[in-house]
């Protein structure tokens, strides 16, 4: 079904913007997800379509469950996440494969080859195989929009959730997207009681397992004839099989070659692949990350070349593909530009800086988590000793406690942000309390999901639309799960925070310290009048205490003995610290550390 036709419009959109347009044109009614680069901007753009109810969920599992519920109510639903988020959502994903859908259900998952903003290079195509779900893989923003609409048709026709795999290059690159008609599902929203289909107790699940296999066979037949999979004829001396952005790399590196472009990457069109392989003299499989296609093609008994020459680590480019196959550096292809190194750093005035400065002083093992505060690992703060995945810090600290017994007492802490604590950290705290641990859990509450772009979360007090909503009371929440000792500090107050940390870390039972101060990038903080500090250079002795914070607003000015003498300082003084007042926001952490009155507050507000 479609609405009244309107003239198509050429738009210049990123892949994530195109996916949001696709959700609008597919008449999606409910969209939910958790922010994570490179997928974040999908929902940030979907929310601009007022007919779609859009929300940030506390984690990807909840986001998918919301979408599943909306599908069961007979409307089209969308769940978005990055690749590691799909791990969190895997539990409902695998069983949703059995229940199938009512309204169309699509899960967009964005992979991150080269780990530009991730902790691993996971290939989400493996989930399509494991969960027995169809997966589409667009190559550019235009296909991203079109493939999303196709995914809803497949979902409803084949009674299945559909995975759509994006990646950093598709999500963030801009391209031409042609607008289309707004479609709608033929289903009528409402409650329909279908216990044999939707209640997955073993007896029902065994029956649904048979249906899943029937569906798989139908999808395999579809893959053979679908326009999503097409052969582009050319020179048959070399043939390529590729999907997604890898297809574009092949077309740029070998424009004369014959190519089998796969848009439906699971299940595979086996006969089409056999026919294609028979028409070319040498067959290459080009794909980012895992040899997902290559492994299955070789299992079919087809000779092909893949990861023997194509790198399995990092993001491919046309030049990488050409060089891998020809062994020669391509002179006519754009090579990636080596950017000047720029060490990552917390923002000037970041409230996390004061906490990590103190943790470094305390010489404890810091079990870390995913977020801006992971930067506490870097020098000069150097105060993070482990980091695995979202929410893991709390459980890891508890595990160290139990492994080391009394030896761990006073030596292990967990740090976790507000959004991450609500994502998957709370269960770890419950476990520590229940199993009588003695960790100190530090919740870095900056009122926002910082690293992915300041998205609100249940602790922020607003929804994705910035409508007011109830705010999580962390002290009360922690007491409710059994923590007896909960303290809240301002991390900018360094000495006061140090004393609280020292007391709580020594406590032989679970305690929680909440470091509360808003992220400097929140809307309210940006509006707050700032009074920057400035250097009193004649008082600076070059002790470098302020530099140990690693604040980018403080610079070191080296001095020769002659220069030091000319400034009235001791000849052996190596330099002095200088505050960049344009960057300083007046958090006061350096002011508190300076013992020589070499830092002072400016008189006039800016």
Is residue 519 part of an annotated ligand binding site?
Answer: no
How far is it, in rounded angstroms, from Cα 373 to Cα 355? Answer: 10
387 is in an annotated binding site: no
Host H or E run for residue 429: helix 426-434
Q: Which residues contact 359 (CB under 8 A, 6 or more apart)?
A: 366, 376, 383, 413, 415, 501
Q: Which residues contact 418 (CB under 8 A, 6 or more apart)?
A: 443, 444, 445, 446, 447, 448, 457, 459, 472, 474
Please answer whether residues 151 and 128 qualify as being in contact, where contact means their C-beta atoms are separated by less than 8 angstroms.
Answer: no
Structural contact between residues 576 and 545, judged by C-beta atoms closer than 8 angstroms: no
To the question of whether residue 372 is assigned a binding role by annotation, the answer is no
User: Cis ω on the peptide bond leading into residue 104 (within 30° of 0)?
Assistant: no
Residue 590 is assigned to a ligand binding site:
yes
Helix (H), strand (E) at residue 237: strand 235-243
DSSP letter for 581, please: T
HSE-CB of 541 using CA atoms within 13 angstroms: 6
**424 secondary structure, DSSP code:** I
What DSSP assignment string belongs to 521-533?
TSHHHHHS----E
Instruction: Tell me the three-class secondary structure of 115-160, residue by residue.
Output: CCCCCCCCCCHHHHHHHCCCEECCCCHHHHHHHHHHHHHHHHHHCC
* Residue showing tokens 């923003």: 141
Tokens standing for residue 466: 């910035």
Collapsing DSSP to helix, strand or coil, 232 comes out as strand
Which tokens hold the place of 38? 């490179």
Integer Cα distance of 99 and 97 in angstroms: 6
Instruction: Please check if 546 is assigned to a binding site.
Output: yes
Percent composition of the chain: helix, strand, coil (DSSP 3-state, to 5) = 40, 20, 40
Q: For residue 476, what is the enclosing H or E element?
A: helix 474-480
d(CA 369, CA 392): 6
Cβ–Cβ under 8 Å, residues 27 and 193: no
- Spacing of C-alpha 89 from chain mean position: 13
In Å, what is the CA distance from 347 to each residue of 341, 373, 374, 546, 583?
17, 11, 13, 15, 9
Q: Establish whether 594 is an annotated binding residue.
A: yes
C-alpha to C-alpha distance for 46 and 23, rounded to whole angstroms: 7
Give the bridge partners for 284, in sequence order: 240, 305
Annotated binding residues, as ranges?
540, 543, 546, 551, 584, 587, 590, 594
Annotated binding residues for [4Fe-4S] cluster, as ranges?
540, 543, 546, 551, 584, 587, 590, 594
């Amino acid at each position: 079904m479609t609405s009244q036709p309107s003239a198509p419009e050429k738009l210049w959109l990123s892949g994530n913007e195109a996916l949001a347009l696709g959700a609008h044109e597919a008449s999606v009614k409910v969209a939910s997800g958790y922010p994570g680069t490179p997928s974040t901007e999908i929902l940030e753009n979907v929310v601009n379509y007022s007919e779609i109810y859009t929300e940030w969920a506390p984690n990807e599992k909840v986001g998918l469950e919301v979408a599943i519920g909306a599908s069961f109510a007979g409307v089209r639903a969308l769940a978005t996440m990055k690749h590691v988020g799909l791990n969190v959502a895997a539990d409902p994903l695998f069983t949703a494969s059995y229940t199938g859908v009512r309204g169309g259900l699509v899960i967009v998952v964005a992979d991150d080859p080269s780990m530009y903003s991730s902790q691993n290079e996971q290939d989400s195509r493996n989930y399509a195989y494991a969960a027995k779900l169809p997966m589409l893989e667009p190559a550019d923003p235009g296909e991203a929009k079109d493939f999303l609409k196709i995914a809803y048709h497949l979902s409803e026709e084949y009674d299945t959730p559909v995975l759509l795999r994006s990646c950093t290059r598709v999500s963030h690159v801009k391209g031409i997207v042609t607008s289309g008609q707004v479609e709608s599902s033929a289903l009528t929203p409402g409650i329909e009681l279908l216990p044999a289909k939707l209640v997955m107790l073993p007896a029902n699940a065994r029956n649904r397992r048979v249906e899943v296999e029937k569906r798989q066979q139908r999808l395999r037949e579809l893959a053979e004839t679908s326009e999503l999979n097409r052969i582009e004829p050319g020179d048959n001396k070399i043939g390529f099989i590729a999907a997604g952005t890898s297809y574009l790399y092949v077309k740029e590196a070998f424009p004369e070659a014959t190519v089998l472009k796969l848009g439906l990457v699971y299940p595979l069109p086996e006969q089409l692949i056999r026919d294609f392989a028979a028409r070319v003299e040498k067959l290459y499989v080009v794909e980012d990350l895992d040899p997902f296609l290559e492994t299955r093609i070789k299992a079919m008994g087809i000779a092909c070349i893949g990861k023997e020459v194509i790198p399995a680590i990092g993001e491919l480019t046309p030049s990488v593909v050409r060089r891998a196959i020809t062994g020669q550096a391509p002179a006519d292809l754009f090579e990636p530009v080596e950017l000047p190194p720029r060490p990552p750093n917390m923002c000037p005035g970041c409230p996390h800086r004061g906490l990590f400065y103190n943790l470094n002083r305390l010489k404890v093992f810091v079990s870390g988590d995913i977020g801006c505060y992971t930067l506490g690992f870097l020098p000069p703060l150097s105060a993070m000793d482990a980091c695995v995945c979202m929410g893991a810090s709390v459980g890891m600290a508890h595990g160290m406690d139990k492994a080391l017994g009394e030896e761990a007492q006073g030596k292990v802490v967990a740090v976790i942000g507000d959004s991450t604590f609500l994502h998957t950290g709370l269960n770890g705290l419950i476990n520590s309390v229940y199993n009588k641990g003695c960790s100190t859990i530090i919740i870095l509450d900056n009122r926002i999901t910082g690293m992915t772009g300041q998205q609100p979360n249940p602790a922020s007090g607003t929804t994705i639309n910035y409508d007011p909503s109830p705010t999580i009371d962390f002290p009360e929440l922690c007491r409710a799960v059994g923590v007896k000792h909960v303290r809240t500090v301002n991390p900018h107050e360094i000495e006061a925070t140090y004393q609280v940390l020292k007391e709580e870390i020594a406590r032989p039972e679970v305690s929680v310290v909440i470091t509360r101060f808003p992220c400097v990038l929140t809307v309210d903080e940006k509006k707050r009048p700032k009074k920057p500090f400035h250097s009193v250079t004649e008082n600076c002795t070059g002790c470098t205490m302020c530099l140990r914070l690693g604040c980018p607003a403080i610079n070191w000015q080296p001095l020769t003995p002659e220069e030091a003498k000319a400034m009235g300082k001791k000849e052996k003084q190596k330099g002095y610290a200088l505050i960049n007042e344009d960057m300083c926001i007046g958090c006061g952490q350096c002011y508190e550390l300076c013992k020589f009155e070499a830092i002072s507050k400016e008189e006039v507000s800016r």
